Chain A
Amino acid sequence: MKQGFIRCHDCGNLVKIVDKFSQCPRCDSHLHSRSPYSLQRTAAFLISGILLYIPANVFPIMTVDQFGVGEPHTIMGGIIELIDSNMLPIALLVLVASILVPLFKLIGLSLLLLSVYFRWQINARFWTVMYRIIAFVGRWSMLDIFIISILVDLVNLGGVAQIIAGPAAIAFAAVVILTMFAAKNFDPRLLWDNQQNL
């Protein structure tokens, strides 16, 4: 940007800055030196994500109904039951995908936002790698939602056994989608802009 060039964020073409509102000659998209309103948008998605993370963990995510006796499970409850029935690897997988990953994402993105906002002098390379991990890992949290969709469909045997999705499923899906949007809107180049000694 200092050298008077802008990288088109869609096609990666390097364009010389001519006037303020110019378009990329190759793909016609609007040029921005940084993602517009990156901090504000990320913060908005992130805060809604954090707020929805609470109901996602408190409310039951699904109810297993066997012979008319239903027992609701929260996300954590489902994992504990998996451990009890000797399925440790699967329990670990679900634990990582549906509790650790969203938590790591929420904390990591908040740290990234704070460091840009307060212009902390940090190891930008390390934090960029952290951003990359957050952006990559986000989609794997959808695992729990897909499991519910499969289970609700298959285990539908009338009076014998039935699985009903709970209100936490909506909240959890919203957390995953919102944090994905937050990660997409965050511009890691902002991390590098604040560093005085590169």
Chain B
Amino acid sequence: MTFFSFTLLYWFLYFTKLTIKSIGRMFVINDMNSANYGACPECDLLINLAQPIIGDKVHCPRCGFLLAHPRKKSIEHTFSLSIAGLILFFPANLLPMMGIEVMGESTNGVLFSGVMALFNKNMWPVAIIVFLASILFPLVHILLSLLISGHLYFNRSNRYLTCWMRWMQHLDEWVMLEVYMLGIIVACVKLMALAQVEFGWGLYAFIALLIITGMLTSKLDNELFWRRIGQLNKEHNN
């Protein structure tokens, strides 16, 4: 039910394009001199980039690096997905994920209780890493993408935009929800032999959050975002 309602919300936001202006502005070509040139980040080959068609993949001819993969309505999708992700974040963290029952005794856990359990057993370095990778970084990543895409969607300029964007790019690698999901699966299989495993609503919310963040990272077009941020800042300074 939860997941269904959030997909509904996502499609609602997708279909109600509040400002038609912003779509037109997405295809504005940068007016800088070197705009059509780019360098491959992995082999530094200087490339004359044509404006790629939406949905196309552009690879570096020398090393094969994926240079650009522009997506349809990247800003709108990112905005709506990050709202859905932010809402889903709370049930995924607060509702119990799963529990086990052995000989009448039962326990259940949420994301944070795993961190606390490690913390209480003098494993605080591991606890901190798990906390960062599975709770704090996903939250910050969703918040930052919400802020950035919100500003771009409503054409607002902010002097912290570049700073946020940089942080979001660096954080991207440290959001490990999908690894955590695999961890849950393996832990379940291990526990099945010992005890009866029960799943809670938190797990379903977590899976939905995982799908949303996956879609978010695939929809996010860094190149377009930077270009728009550059434009906004230039307009703001003039």
Chain A contacts to B: CB under 8 angstroms: 1, 3, 5, 7, 9-16, 26-29, 82, 85, 87, 90, 93-94, 97, 124-125, 128-129, 131-132, 139-140, 142-143, 145-158, 160-161, 164-165, 169-170, 173-174, 177, 180, 184, 188-189, 191-193, 198
Contacts and interface: CB of A to CB of B under 8 A. Distances in A.
Contacts of A164: 121
Contacts of A5: 34, 37, 39, 46
Given A12-B222, A131-B42, 9 more contacts: A5-B34, A10-B169, A11-B162, A124-B43, A128-B63, A146-B183, A148-B118, A152-B114, A165-B121
Contacts of B184: 146, 150
Interface residues of B, number: 63
B6 interface: no
Q: Is chain B's interface secondary structure helix, strand, loop, or mixed overall?
A: helix
B125 interface: yes
Contacts of B229: 11, 26-27
Interface string B97-109: 0111011010111
Interface of B: 34, 37-39, 41-46, 62-65, 98-100, 102-103, 105, 107-109, 113-118, 121, 123, 125-127, 129-130, 133-134, 162, 165-166, 169, 173-174, 176, 179-180, 182-184, 186-187, 189-191, 193-194, 222-223, 226, 229-230, 233
B117 A152 contact: yes
